[in-house]
């Protein structure tokens, strides 16, 4: 079993992820150094698994900020997008 240090957790950003396709919301930790594209790849796989395949990837998902209605550039890192603790994101 992999152990996660407190330092590693504190470096991550806690956000709420709304998933309209399955009408669910999840609290997730995002590593700030990954790109939006890398995060989307991980999220699509995780969502399929935790929803028991109710979530089906379109292959063209985007990550958006719910409050500011911003679509994040897939090439930017989470940190470059200025995603902060407590933000609500939407995957569509």
State pLDDT tens for residues 16-74: 999 999 999 999 999 999 999 999 999 999 999 999 999 999 999 999 999 999 999 99
pLDDT at 12 over 80: yes
Residue scoring higher pLDDT (18 or 6): 18
- Topology classification of domain 18-91: Ubiquitin-like (UB roll) (3.10.20)
What's the pLDDT at 40? 98
- The pLDDT assigned to 5 comes to 57
The per-residue DSSP string of 1-68 comes to -----HHHHHHSEEEEEEETTTTEEEEEEE-TTSBHHHHHHHHHHHHHHHTTT-S---S---EEETTT
Question: Where do the structural domains in the chain lie, given as residue ranges?
Answer: 18-91
């Amino acid at each position: 079993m992999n152990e996660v240090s407190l330092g590693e957790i504190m470096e991550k950003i806690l956000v709420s992820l709304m998933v309209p396709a399955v009408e669910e919301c999840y609290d997730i930790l995002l590593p700030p150094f990954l790109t939006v594209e890398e995060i989307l790849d991980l999220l699509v796989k995780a969502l399929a698994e935790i929803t028991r395949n109710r979530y089906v990837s379109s292959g063209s998902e985007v990550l958006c900020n719910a409050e500011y209605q911003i679509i994040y550039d897939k090439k930017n890192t989470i940190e470059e997008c200025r995603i902060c603790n407590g933000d609500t994101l939407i995957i569509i």
